[in-house]
Structure 1
Amino acid sequence: MSTFTIILEFFRDVLKQPALLMGIMALIGLVALKRPTFKVMTGTLKPILGYLMLGAGADFIVANLTPLGKMIEEGFHITGVVPNNEAIVSVAQKVLGIETMSILVAGLVINLLIARFTKYKYVFLTGHHSFFMACLLSAVLGASGMKGAELIFIGGFILGAWSAISPAIGQKYTLKVTDGDEIAMGHFGSLGYYLSAWVGKFAGKPEESTEKMEVPEQWGFLRDTTISTALTMMIFYLIAAFAAGASYVNTLSGEMSPFLFAIMSALKFAVGVTIVYAGVRMILGDLIPAFQGIATKIIPNAIPAVDCAVFFTYAPTAVVIGFISSFIGGIIGMLLLGTAGGVLIIPGLVPHFFCGATAGIYGNATGGRKGAALGAFVNGLAITFLPAFLLPVLGQLGFQNTTFGDADFGFLGILLGKAYDAVGPAGIYILVAILVIVLVIPNHIKTKAHAINNVQG
């Protein structure tokens, strides 16, 4: 292996780590602000450690959702495709490793250039999602016949452009969620969250927030997010365990009693959510102040676009409501696909938890508890039908048994695939031209804020 390849792989691995990206951005911002050395050190390390804590909590959640998903499939006799970003990326990397890596690097550079020279001031910091999108683009563009420098440049541009445009699309909703905090959504489930917010405003009133729900004194303990999450998930796990049967659950639980295993898994899930919250607080406490250095000295008015889990602390009750509502939407979507004779998309608990929870938060911001429930339900339908329609596009490359789970992947993949089917490679270039126009036009229009849509409406 050559030295150049080793260096390239090192940088690829760095760019895939959101924790390091956040740390690098914080370091640049603090140095630009000329902070003392000790503040630079602590201000750089805290976002890194906070994101690692968030990641540890997310891993704990995923580990304990896996047996729940297996029990549901066994207990209710469901077979089909489970959307999973990590699974399809691991398959695709064997075929498209170099292309994906090159698109990832090009996309990050183009995102920074767009933030510097246009009104799309959003710097996308969720590195693993950039990596997933780079993989999708290499697969879809490769299927269209592109290769080499053409594939890397077009893929990198689309990745960089969408990394700047997708946070801007729903920034007015994000400002409602955060009550004006200067962060944006940096997660490629964003279209589902914005759809939830749009639907939410027709469902209820924002002042009827999930966080203001009146709870009788004897039920006051439910206001503790960890407790309410634990109790809710215990019901889920026990139902699934009873449906699957003790003999099957024994294959998952080892020597532990099957129903005790279900209860312990639910409690561990709640602990994972609590770890995520603690990590989020550490990130926000230091990243936003440090980012002001970038926003004032390097990329004027830059706004960090961060992972969806960062928003969980803004409406913890909506997290639980959103997850349950999205999952119900996924079940109904699966049944509708089955009735229509399509491929069954089994509700993946990981996308329905993270994306559903975030959709609940956005729906709550515009429509209160009714908005949280209905908005997340619609998100559940979206992340069921979009992966189903994306399957044929990816199937050309032999990925028939898995697909991407989050809304933006489905939307962009289907759009690019249909554009190519309609007019060949020219369809891809037409979409690229549209992105260029979308990026350039706002520079010639007077807007209320320096960044597109960064005004709370």
Structure 2
Amino acid sequence: MELLTGTLEFLKDILSEPALLIGLMSLVGLVALKSPGHKILTGTLGPILGYLMLSAGAAFIVENLAPLGLMIEHGFNIQGVVPNNEAVVAAAQELLGVETMSILVLGLVLNIVIARFTKYKYVFLTGHHSFFMACLLSAVLGATGLEGAQLIIIGGFLLGAWSAISPAIGQKYTLKVTDGDEVAMGHFGSLGYYLSAWVGSKVGNPSDNTENIDIPEKWSFLRNTTIATAITMIFFYVISAIVAGPEFVSTLSNGTSPLLFAAMAGLKFAVGVAIVYAGVRMILADLIPAFQGIATKIIPNAVPAVDCAVFFTYAQTAVIIGFVCSFIGGVIGMVVLGFAGGVLIIPGLVPHFFCGATAGIYGNATGGRKGAIIGSFVNGLAITFLPAMLLPVLGELGFANTTFGDFDFTVLGILIGQAGNALNMAGIYAILLIVLLALVIPNFVKTKSAALNNYTTEDEDNRKVRGA
């Protein structure tokens, strides 16, 4: 038993590390293509180093967002719950560690099986989000009375299925975002991004693209994304520092002048974004060609589903617009909850940056500037109200002071929790049946593409012509 637990722990460490998972997939693809040894080496290390660079940039962003959140909470005297995936996971791991690891391993294996034998050809490569989802499933399913092998099998199936289904749901929108790159969304905030894209299609015109904003010559420096990000974030930080007051800010700045500390934090944030962009370019440069080996030799027509930050380079102006508008939506949602007498969900800057930015990119792809603004605003409202609805479910598990922040976690947590509470095991089995039918039925229906909702044969031919 100890050996089994140790093996599961080792596998969990590997499979929950996105850099290694992406590198492993790239290695398999290159070997399948019978690439020469030097190309296998560089093609495997490239995505690993790229993802580590992306992670370093993301960590730098998160590190510099923390004082901004504290200044906002103190300056505006806000008390409530800040949605935080990591906090819930840390608490749940103490109770359900082995179950979570087992669900993670089974879920990743079933994702590959589903991609091989159904039309959901999407291979989910964002390992840490798979780990978060395994944790949510173990906690919510455990609260319904499931335990042992039954808990692991049902949780693993749901994880593997949603890992393949969620990229497919909005792939038609992802194709608009990437304009030809063969990737899918592999992030469990996906429903929020697709909602933003749908809203964008109703309110705007994709030709009015955020990246085509006409900027006068004297303001042309704003076309440099790093500089534009720095200026925007310095404004945010300095205003927050002024409102919080020098006495409080000095507790965060280690003796540095409060305003200088705020300005430097804004500049560091921009550097973090630049590092993310550089890492994304490294990932895509090697992963997409290598993945063709998997798509042709192992899982025909497979599509890699990658982290939301990978999409930041496709619409860099929309990233900032999405963050700001999502955060505004979060603030308004918090005020509404306050007036309604509910628990205040304080806008978490990490989910509003990463999820809000991605929602802005998707809204822009279908509705241009209006789509980016309104779509990400709606996303901000959603990731405020949904965590508030999930809070009672998690509260019953002893996690009353925190909640998941991303869209998919909250939706699945609410659905499974409510189904289990209302119908007991019958509710869980009903969800399993619906998911199973969703996986199987497309296999018996003629679709335009081998990978559900992906490029049609005609689209693929056009892409090859453009590539030539």
Q: Per the alignment, in what secondary structure is the counterpart of residue 290 of structure 2?
A: helix
1:230 Cα shift?
A: 0.2
Q: In 2, Cα distance between the equivalents of 1:5 and 1:171?
A: 37
1:10 Cα shift?
A: 1.1
What does residue 174 of structure 1 align with?
A: 174
1:386 Cα shift?
A: 0.6
What does residue 273 of structure 2 align with?
A: 273
What does residue 347 of structure 1 align with?
A: 347
Gaps of 5+ in 1: none
Q: Per the alignment, in what secondary structure is the counterpart of residue 119 of structure 2?
A: coil
Amino acid at match of 1:335: V
Q: CA deviation digits over 1:48-105, x for unaligned, max 9? A: 0000000000000000000000000000000000000011101111111111000000
Q: In 1, Cα distance between the equivalents of 2:289 and 2:7?
A: 32
What does residue 449 of structure 2 align with?
A: 449
Q: In 1, Cα distance between the equivalents of 2:409 and 2:421?
A: 18
Residue 379 (str. 1) matches residue 379 (str. 2): yes
What does residue 411 of structure 1 align with?
A: 411
1:8 Cα shift?
A: 2.0
Q: How many residues align?
A: 457
1:421 Cα shift?
A: 1.9
Q: Per the alignment, in what secondary structure is the counterpart of residue 188 of structure 1?
A: coil
Coordinate RMSD, CA, aligned: 0.9
What does residue 364 of structure 1 align with?
A: 364
Amino acid at match of 2:290: A
Amino acid at match of 1:449: S
What does residue 464 of structure 2 align with?
A: none
1:418 Cα shift?
A: 1.2
1:247 Cα shift?
A: 0.3
Q: CA deviation digits over 1:217-240, x for unaligned, max 9? A: 000000000000000000000110
Amino acid at match of 1:302: A
Q: In 1, Cα distance between the equivalents of 2:235 and 2:174?
A: 32
Amino acid at match of 1:316: Q
Q: In 2, Cα distance between the equivalents of 1:209 and 1:86?
A: 34
Q: Per the alignment, in what secondary structure is the counterpart of residue 450 of structure 2?
A: coil
What does residue 52 of structure 1 align with?
A: 52
Q: Per the alignment, in what secondary structure is the counterpart of residue 346 of structure 1?
A: coil
Residue 304 (str. 1) matches residue 304 (str. 2): yes
Q: In 2, Cα distance between the equivalents of 1:406 and 1:4?
A: 32
Q: In 2, Cα distance between the equivalents of 1:88 and 1:147?
A: 20
1:18 Cα shift?
A: 0.5
Q: In 2, Cα distance between the equivalents of 1:28 and 1:235?
A: 46
Q: In 2, Cα distance between the equivalents of 1:346 and 1:153?
A: 35
What does residue 432 of structure 2 align with?
A: 432
What does residue range 19-418 of structure 1 map to in structure 2 within 5 Å? 19-418=19-418
Q: In 1, Cα distance between the equivalents of 2:338 and 2:154?
A: 36
Q: In 2, Cα distance between the equivalents of 1:7 and 1:414?
A: 32
1:202 Cα shift?
A: 1.4
Q: In 2, Cα distance between the equivalents of 1:373 and 1:148?
A: 46
Q: CA deviation digits over 1:130-173, x for unaligned, max 9? A: 00000000000000000000000000000000000000000000
Q: Per the alignment, in what secondary structure is the counterpart of residue 304 of structure 1?
A: strand
Q: In 2, Cα distance between the equivalents of 1:78 and 1:455?
A: 47
Residue 15 (str. 1) matches residue 15 (str. 2): yes
Gaps of 5+ in 2: 460-468
Amino acid at match of 1:89: V
Q: Per the alignment, in what secondary structure is the counterpart of residue 77 of structure 1?
A: coil
Provide TM-score, normalisation by structure 1.
0.99
Amino acid at match of 2:121: K
Q: Per the alignment, in what secondary structure is the counterpart of residue 262 of structure 2?
A: helix
Q: In 2, Cα distance between the equivalents of 1:12 and 1:392?
A: 29
Q: In 2, Cα distance between the equivalents of 1:316 and 1:4?
A: 46
